Structure 1
């Protein structure tokens, strides 16, 4: 199946390539197995393997063998590392950065990016998003959530707008125009909890 260029940054060959680069390069202190990457990116092991092979071959990522397991890390010693990270941060960066920030905040059941960034990530063509819209479901501390949005705005170099709703409001169908609009458009789920629900 031929993959089209991603709408977020059509310089990359696929959405998966952009997501993979952002995940690994924006977490240079972490190492990833191919299974970790496939799970985190909700992609097939084969697709992740192909992209990782290309990026290791281009010396953008590095790999190490631990037994039979391939471990992938960022190459931080190349001339393209810093400019590529800057570019990834303002395009693909909202997913890994917001996931990391929101994971440290208590009281969150679910979180999504919605609006124009989610639409571009989902393949809907259009201009580069000027801001990032985040829906937080739960009861986090409002002051901590505000501080988080301010920090994310500084890191991502664009406004991050956070809208909080209760789990009950999100779970029940309502006539509230905002929630109806959010549900009808692309949503990108942020994995703020581990797979086991912790």
Structure 2
């Protein structure tokens, strides 16, 4: 199934291109193999290889070989690196950053991006999101969650609103209007196998 055109950064021909560039430019200290990127971004290795080849030809990615491994990293010395990184942080950055920020937070059972960012990621047209709404499910310390939200804000250059809910509340079929609204719209699952879903 063909994915919708990017609504987060419409000048890109595909959402995947934004995801690939964001992952590499927002993790500039790391070399990733084509296989690793395919797993992270949930696409085929041939898709990663093809796009990476184009980006390397124009100098936006650096390719190196280590044995049979083809390794990729952001070309941080490229003249466009700084403005491109800022643009990617504002658009596809939440997908690349929030998993890192929340990974070591105790008590997280599930985490989602909801609201306008998840809707644009899912292909719904509309204005660029002003902020990022994050729902964390689990027994998480509120202060620790607020601290992580501030870390994410610094990396993404935009407000991050983090909301905590218990596992029981999230999994119940209660009448909480907030959770009902969140469930009714696209959700981007943060963590291993990130994806957009209609709801839990």
- TM-score, normalised on structure 1? 0.91
How far the C-alpha of 1:154 sits from its partner, in A, is 3.2
- Equivalent position of 2:160 in the other structure: 160
Deviation larger for 3-12 or 179-188: 3-12
In the alignment, the residues of structure 2 paired with residue 62 and residue 125 of structure 1 have an alpha-carbon distance, to the nearest angstrom, of 33
Structure 1, gaps ≥5 residues long? 194-198
How far the C-alpha of 1:101 sits from its partner, in A, is 0.9
Structure 2, gaps ≥5 residues long? 194-200
- The answer (yes or no) to whether the contact 1:98–1:190 under 8 Å persists in 2 is yes
Deviation larger for 55-64 or 2-11: 2-11
Aligned residues: 193
SS in 2 for 1:35: helix
CA RMSD in angstroms comes to: 1.7
Q: Does 1:147 align with 2:147?
A: yes
Deviation larger for 38-47 or 77-86: 38-47
Q: Taking structure 1 as reference, are residues 35 and 146 closer, same or farther at Cα in structure 2, changes over 3 Å only?
A: same
SS in 1 for 2:43: coil
How far the C-alpha of 1:172 sits from its partner, in A, is 2.2
CA-to-partner distance for each residue in 1:8-66, whole Å, 9 max, x for gaps? 00111110000000001110111111111111111122222221111111110111122
In the alignment, the residues of structure 2 paired with residue 18 and residue 114 of structure 1 have an alpha-carbon distance, to the nearest angstrom, of 19
- Equivalent position of 2:53 in the other structure: 53
How far the C-alpha of 1:150 sits from its partner, in A, is 2.4
Q: Does 1:30 align with 2:22?
A: no
- Equivalent position of 1:138 in the other structure: 138
In the alignment, the residues of structure 2 paired with residue 149 and residue 3 of structure 1 have an alpha-carbon distance, to the nearest angstrom, of 29
